[in-house]
Structure 1
Amino acid sequence: MTPETVMPDEAIARRLPTPPPFPAFQTPGTPEEVSEHSRVHRELNYAIAVGFRRLSMDIWLPRNPDGGPVPVVVWIHGGAFQLGDRRELPPTFQPDSVFRLLNEAGIACATVDYRHALEAPFPAQLHDIKAAVRYLRHHAELLGIDPECIGAWGESAGGHLAALLGLTGGRADLEGGLGAPGHSSAVSAVVDFYGVSSLTRMPPMEATTSFMSGALLAAVPDGVSLEPGPMLVGNSHDPALLDAASPLAYVTADAPPFLLIHGDSDGLVPLTQSELLADALAVAGVEQELVTIEGGDHCFFFAEDQLDRILATAVSFFTKELTQP
């Protein structure tokens, strides 16, 4: 067809540029200077998905005199898969302490949000965390981080997810399709604070509802279990579904080194949960250490005088695993 015979509508269509596709994640901009140790990228959307809220992370970068790439640790908050926020640390921790301590050690920290249990059932939460790791690798050069030196650190539900992340780096069936594609979600070291390792071996958690007001529970649909495990897997007590959402099911000899820290008086997640995972890792030949905190309840309540040592132990573990040759 010659130019003279092109129909008007066709000619207009040829002249109009094609609009760019809607982005699946956001590119980092300029970090905010917050202290002598830290610069922070706030509210970065690491995954944008149709039908869901945008998933965000904050990236705390250490001031780095030599200018080379630094390791990064993904911090995963707790909250029984029902509550919590990437900016919130446990009530026993000083605000921003985890992020600040990592930065002081020369390690970046990406603190991430993920979907809660009533927003989407498992494995959505694992898909989200994996997307966060892929995002960090995708933008590693821009952020000044080392894509080969990524760790995961979580507490309670976040410890559960950190363990799953560490144990499923090679599982394509659990990768999900959110955010930046084409990168590995594997991590090189895991710190798990009082996380669940086997949902089928958890005792009833009535205590989780003791602090919940009617306003907190108002949006929970009738008939939905308030037990974190069943709620996580779509309001089901099916052992197969619960096992499939449990770190214990994914232990292999390929797992990265693990540090587990758990109070011996934990009234929500028994110490036996970390013992189960430590034992399974040891049987598989994986480097692991379980540190028991005497008198420590969940969130290390009643062991606050040991908290500085606990956090220093975790940061030292990452320094050893992520920065030393």
Structure 2
Amino acid sequence: MRYFMMMLTCSLSCLPVFEADAEEVNITPDVVYGHKFGLAMTFDVFTPEKEANGAAVLFMVSGGWYSKWSPPEGLQVRFRALTDKGFTVFAVRHGSSPRFSIAEAVADVRRSVRFIRLNAEKFQIDPDRIGVFGMSAGGHLSLMLGTASDEGDPNAKDPVLKVSDRVQAVVAFVAPTDLQVMAEDAPDRLPVYAQFPALEINQETAAENSPLLHVSSDDSPTLLLAGVKDELVPIFHSRNIQAAFGKAGVTNKLIEFGNAGHGFRGEDLAAATQAMVAWFEEHLNK
């Protein structure tokens, strides 16, 4: 249960908190980017009032592939490091475990990128400057967008599906990259994974949604942030995909935090946040 709660809350609680005034950022809550089973899929938008740089950064609201709603006013200060630099931030929720699978979560966040790009003018962003970040399961979803996206289906009836879901930069915190080792039939599966309904999958299904197996030369520039002492998502996940990126010629960087586990605090969190912002500035600014 300890690991379950850690992964569930990491996507929000591990974000840095800054002082912020309400008037500095315009919040547009609960924008609907799709529907399924009679339910709306939503995101919140945090737009800097002054000196917006035109680039978008999506945050994957996901821990253990659970995606929970929380008042956007509480998230505002946690995105301050990005909005202060002019980035418009989108907090994207997906269909949550245990009702929805990892594959469905991946499909949801892909749609969110397509929807945001299709409506780039409305959100006052550049459709060719979209980044994504997330922590733990949110990091996994970010990597799936960076490694397994497409240009859209020109024959689709839904105009959203005609649009590309590619992103131009990825930052992944403590992210699972090979779900095969977490699947039910994995020979060396860690017992803790039995606590996560989303991981009630076999290795074949896991392979389809493992970023490590989708790495190719056209992937997005990716920054990996990992804790050496992580017992839930061991650091080999980040090391292995970094090696694959290097072999494919993908721009990438791995920063290891020697004393960190699954989630960062204090100086580690500050350093990771600084590295994330710098990565987006390098790869999303004109």
Distance 1:310 1:86, change over 3 A: farther
Once residues 46 and 114 of structure 1 are traced to their aligned partners in structure 2, the CA distance between those partners, rounded to angstroms, is 10
Do structure 1's residue 40 and structure 2's residue 4 form an aligned pair?
Answer: no
Do structure 1's residue 77 and structure 2's residue 41 form an aligned pair?
Answer: no
1:237-285 C-alpha deviation (Å, 9 max, x unpaired): 2x21111111111100000100000011111100111101111111100
2:160 match: secondary structure: coil
2:42 match: secondary structure: strand
Do structure 1's residue 164 and structure 2's residue 144 form an aligned pair?
Answer: yes
Alignment-derived partner of residue 57 in structure 1? 43
Q: How large is the Cα RMSD of the aligned pairs?
A: 2.6
Alignment-derived partner of residue 233 in structure 2? 269
Q: What pairs with 1:173-322 in structure 2 (closer than 5 Å)?
A: 180-202=160-182, 204-207=189-192, 226-227=195-196, 231-232=198-199, 235-237=200-202, 239-300=203-264, 303-322=265-284
Amino acid corresponding to residue 85 of structure 2 in structure 1: A
Percent identity over the alignment is 26
CA contact (8 A) 2:30 2:43 kept: yes
Please give the TM-score of this superposition, normalised by the length of structure 2: 0.82
CA contact (8 A) 2:152 2:161 kept: no
Structure 2, unpaired ranges of 5+ = 1-19, 183-187
Between structure 1 and structure 2, the one with the greater Rg is: 1
Q: Structure 1 residue 86: deviation in Å?
A: 5.5
Amino acid corresponding to residue 27 of structure 2 in structure 1: V
Once residues 147 and 156 of structure 1 are traced to their aligned partners in structure 2, the CA distance between those partners, rounded to angstroms, is 26
Distance 1:187 1:308, change over 3 A: same
Structure 1 runs (4+) deviating above 6 angstroms are 176-179
Once residues 266 and 160 of structure 1 are traced to their aligned partners in structure 2, the CA distance between those partners, rounded to angstroms, is 15
Q: How many equivalent pairs are there? A: 259
Once residues 260 and 296 of structure 1 are traced to their aligned partners in structure 2, the CA distance between those partners, rounded to angstroms, is 14
Structure 1, unpaired ranges of 5+ = 1-32, 209-224
CA contact (8 A) 2:132 2:171 kept: yes
1:268-321 C-alpha deviation (Å, 9 max, x unpaired): 100111101111111100010000012101112xx4232112111101110110
CA contact (8 A) 1:38 1:100 kept: no
2:95 match: secondary structure: coil
Q: Structure 1 residue 88: deviation in Å?
A: 8.6
Distance 1:131 1:168, change over 3 A: same
Once residues 179 and 236 of structure 2 are traced to their aligned partners in structure 1, the CA distance between those partners, rounded to angstroms, is 12
Please give the TM-score of this superposition, normalised by the length of structure 1: 0.73
Amino acid corresponding to residue 38 of structure 1 in structure 2: V
Distance 1:178 1:267, change over 3 A: farther
After superposing the two structures, state which structure 1 stretch, 199-208 or 186-195, moved more: 199-208
Do structure 1's residue 130 and structure 2's residue 117 form an aligned pair?
Answer: no
Once residues 317 and 188 of structure 1 are traced to their aligned partners in structure 2, the CA distance between those partners, rounded to angstroms, is 11
CA contact (8 A) 1:194 1:269 kept: yes
Once residues 263 and 157 of structure 2 are traced to their aligned partners in structure 1, the CA distance between those partners, rounded to angstroms, is 33
Distance 1:112 1:95, change over 3 A: closer
Amino acid corresponding to residue 59 of structure 2 in structure 1: W
Alignment-derived partner of residue 92 in structure 2? 112
1:18-57 C-alpha deviation (Å, 9 max, x unpaired): xxxxxxxxxxxxxxx96343111101111122x1421110
1:2-24 C-alpha deviation (Å, 9 max, x unpaired): xxxxxxxxxxxxxxxxxxxxxxx
1:146 match: secondary structure: coil
Once residues 157 and 200 of structure 1 are traced to their aligned partners in structure 2, the CA distance between those partners, rounded to angstroms, is 14
1:215-251 C-alpha deviation (Å, 9 max, x unpaired): xxxxxxxxxx5345xx34xx332x2111111111110
1:140-190 C-alpha deviation (Å, 9 max, x unpaired): 1111111110001010000000000111222769xx998833211100000
Q: Structure 1 residue 125: deviation in Å?
A: 0.8
Once residues 310 and 101 of structure 1 are traced to their aligned partners in structure 2, the CA distance between those partners, rounded to angstroms, is 11
